[in-house]
Amino acid sequence: MICSAVKRVACPLRIRSFASIASKPSEPIKCLAAVARVPKKEYWHRDALQLEEVIVAPPQAGEVRIKITHTALCHTDCFTLTGDDAEGKFPCVLGHEAAGIVESVGEGVTSVQAGDHVIPCYQAECFPEDRANNLCIRCRGYCERKTNLCGKIRAFTGGGIMRADSGTRFKAVSDGAEFFHYMGISAFSQYTVLHEESVAKIRKDAPLEKVNLLGCGLATGYGAVENTAKVEPGSSVAVFGCGTVGLSCIDAAKRAGAKRIIAVDLDEKKFALSRLFGATDCVNPSEYNKPIQEVLVELTGGGLDYTFECTGNVNVMRSALEACHIGWGQSVVIGVAGAGQEIATRPFQLVTGRVWKGTAFGGYQSRTDVPALVDQYMNGDFQIDPYITHNLNLTDINESFVFLHEGKSLRTVIWMDNDCPASLNKMP
C-alpha cells in the first residue's frame, strides 16, 4: 500500500510518449519534468516534486540534448531537496543517475551524435586536447590519474547553469519560470541538456533501465574499493551504512578477495542482503554499550585494513577511521555531509599511521571508465538487478521518495516515458 500521508502526483496534463513529441534538432522541445520549486525538509510527508510541462531549449555550442529513458532516485537527490546542500539551487530539476539517447548536439560536439546511447555523468571528463594545453589547475593530476575531479566545467555545473551563456535550458510552460540544472544533469526531465564533457557513450545493447545505476551509486561504491582504497586479497573490510552504495562496496570487496567483510548498520533488515553481496559479519551498533569502533577493533584483533563510510554522518566518519588498524588502516569517506558540518578525531589516530581518504564517483574518469563498467556488466562480471527493488512511471515518482525514506527500497528506477511494464510496477 502507498503511504496514506503521501498522494500520487497530481497530473492534469496529457501524458505523451516520446514517440509523439515532434521536434527537430535545434528547436525547443516541450515535455514533462518532475520539478522542485522550493526545498522541502519533510519531502516524504507530502508531494516531493510536482510534474510540469517544461520547454527544453536546443543545445548550444558544446552541449548535448538527451532523451532520458530511465533514471533512479539517489539519496543525494533527497539531500538536496531538503535544502541542506550548499549547491542546491531552486527552482530546479533534480535527478542524476540516468541513461538515455542523444536527441541532438550543439555546434562543435564530436564525441557523440544523435541516436547514441549514453550515461550522463556528474563528474565530467575533459578532452585530451584540454589536458595537453593544461586547461585548468587539475589537468596535471588528471593526466597522472591522481584524480578524477575535472575542473573544466565544475563552476557551471555547481552553479546550476550552462557554460555557453551562463544560463539554463529549462523553462516552465505555465509561468515561464526558469529551472536550474542539477549536478550538470537534471535527469527528472524527459529531455535534458548537458555539457559534452558530462556524456559517456555506451554500447547500444546494454539495458538502459539497468545500467543507469552506473551513473552514480554503483560506480561510487565499486570505485571506492577498487580505485581509492585498492583493496587486496585477504584483507579485512568494514562498511558503514548498507544502502546501495554500501552494498556496492561490499560487492566490490568480495570480488577483490577480501577475507573478512563486516556490514555495519542500525537497520538489521539490511543484513540479509548484505550477506548476499558478500558480508561475512553483520554488526548493529545499537546492541553495544560502547563506541562501535572499539567493538570492531576487538572483533578483528586490532582493527580493519579498510573501512568505508557511506552514511554522510560525521560521527560515523570518525568511527570508521578509528576502527582502522594502527599503522596502516585506511578509511574512505563516501557519504555527503550537510553544509557546514566538520569531521574530527584525535591527531594521534593519524600520526600512528591511519589514513583518512575521500572519494568522488569512485575515482572513475567518467567518459573513459563508465563505458568500460558497462562492458564489465554485459560480460557478467557483476550484477545490477539485485539493487533495483522498484520500478515506477514518471507520474509516480514521488512514491520513490517515500520508499527510500521508509527503508523499503534500494534503487527505484523511473521509466520516463511512463511505459513501465505492469509486471515490474509493483508497490511494496
Answer yes or no: do 341 and 295 share one domain.
yes
Answer yes or no: do 72 and 207 share one domain.
yes
DSSP assignment letter at 330: E
Return the CATH number at 51.
3.90.180.10
Answer yes or no: do 271 and 355 share one domain.
yes
Q: Is residue 293 part of a domain?
A: yes
Q: Residue written as cell 570508521? A: 320
Answer yes or no: do 196 and 235 share one domain.
no
Q: Is residue 6 part of a domain?
A: no
Chain segment 355-384, per-residue pLDDT in tens: 999 999 999 999 999 999 999 999 999 999
Answer yes or no: do 160 and 210 share one domain.
yes
Answer yes or no: do 193 and 320 share one domain.
no
Answer yes or no: do 239 and 314 share one domain.
yes
Name which of 305, 68, 88 is nearest 180 in CA terms: 88
Strand order in the sheet with 236-240: 281-283, 260-264, 236-240, 306-309, 330-333, 355-358
Q: Is residue 288 part of a domain?
A: yes
Per-residue pLDDT of the chain (428 residues; tens, 9 = 90+): 233 233 334 443 433 344 434 455 579 999 999 999 999 988 876 689 999 999 999 999 999 999 999 999 999 999 999 998 888 899 999 999 999 999 999 999 999 999 999 999 999 999 999 998 988 889 989 998 899 999 999 999 999 999 999 999 999 999 999 999 999 999 999 999 999 999 999 999 999 999 999 999 999 999 999 999 999 999 999 999 999 999 999 999 999 999 999 999 999 999 999 999 999 999 999 999 999 999 999 999 999 999 999 999 999 999 999 999 999 999 999 999 888 899 999 999 999 999 999 999 999 999 999 999 999 999 999 999 999 999 999 999 999 999 998 889 999 999 999 999 999 986 65
Q: Please state the domain count of the chain.
A: 2
- pTM for this prediction: 0.92
Q: Which domain holds residue 74?
A: 18-215+383-415
Answer yes or no: do 246 and 208 share one domain.
no
Contacts of 52 (CB under 8 A, 6+ apart): 13, 32, 33, 34, 35, 172, 173, 174
Answer yes or no: do 194 and 98 share one domain.
yes
Single out the residue in 359, 375, 403 at which a domain terminates. 359
User: What pairing do the DSSP bridges indicate for beta strands 178-179 and 191-195?
Assistant: unpaired
Cis omega before residue 233 (within 30°)?
A: no
Answer yes or no: do 288 and 407 share one domain.
no
